[in-house]
């Protein structure tokens, strides 16, 4: 039987929720040359953070900007989870950012994984774009964001998708 949090909504008001407690608060700052995705992951490792919300980026430019966008899967139209990588070489400015650090398993070992949603624009020929920020987005100038640790929750792993990693949900951690 499929867990309730994996099933499609039966009614418009259906939802799933888990309570967490805010933990430590950080301002994370990166400068020219840092890979934003890798730096955020390393920050989580260094501070032993399993879960956190990433929010309210202020100041931030990338060159290049690398991200994933949802794109039709020509081989399997039923694959709604398909994402394709995009790279913009011109200087891009982060306009909005939100996301989460959560854990996933790689080769049986748990690691922090930043899932970063963003909107960016700027330069003369960079349209306003958005997606999932990925490795290879290199800071140009300064990039800062807020990080709020989330405590009192644990992960529930679900089915894996094309990238080999599970769709996760959370449960209240046992004291």
pLDDT digits (tens, 9 = 90+) for 123-173: 667 788 888 999 999 999 999 999 999 999 998 877 666 555 567 778 888
In angstroms, the Cα distances linking 161 to 37, 108, 166 are 21, 17, 6
Of 120, 116, 104, 173, nearest to 147 (Cα)?
116
Spatial neighbors of 12 by CB under 8 A, at least 6 apart, are none
Angle at CA 50, nearest 5°, toward 45 and 53? 105
Model confidence band, residue 73 (pLDDT cutoffs 50, 70, 90): confident
pLDDT (tens digit per residue) in 3-51: 777 788 999 999 988 999 999 999 999 999 999 999 999 999 999 999 9
* Torsion (CA) 122, 124, 128, 129 in degrees, nearest 10: -90
């Amino acid at each position: 039987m499929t867990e309730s949090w994996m099933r499609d909504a039966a009614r418009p008001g259906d939802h799933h929720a888990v309570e967490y407690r805010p933990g430590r608060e950080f301002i994370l700052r990166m400068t020219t040359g840092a890979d934003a995705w890798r730096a955020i992951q390393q920050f989580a490792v260094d501070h032993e953070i399993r879960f956190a919300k990433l929010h309210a980026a202020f100041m931030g430019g990338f060159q290049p900007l690398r991200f994933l966008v949802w794109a039709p899967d020509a081989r399997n139209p039923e694959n709604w989870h398909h994402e394709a990588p995009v790279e913009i070489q011109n200087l891009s400015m982060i306009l909005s950012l939100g996301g989460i650090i959560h854990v996933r398993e790689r080769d049986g070992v748990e690691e922090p994984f930043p899932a970063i949603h963003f909107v960016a624009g700027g330069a003369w020929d960079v349209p306003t774009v958005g997606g999932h920020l990925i490795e290879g987005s290199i800071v140009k100038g300064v990039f800062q964001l807020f990080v709020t640790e989330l405590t009192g929750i644990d992960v529930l792993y679900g089915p894996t998708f094309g990238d080999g990693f599970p769709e996760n949900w959370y449960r209240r951690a046992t004291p």
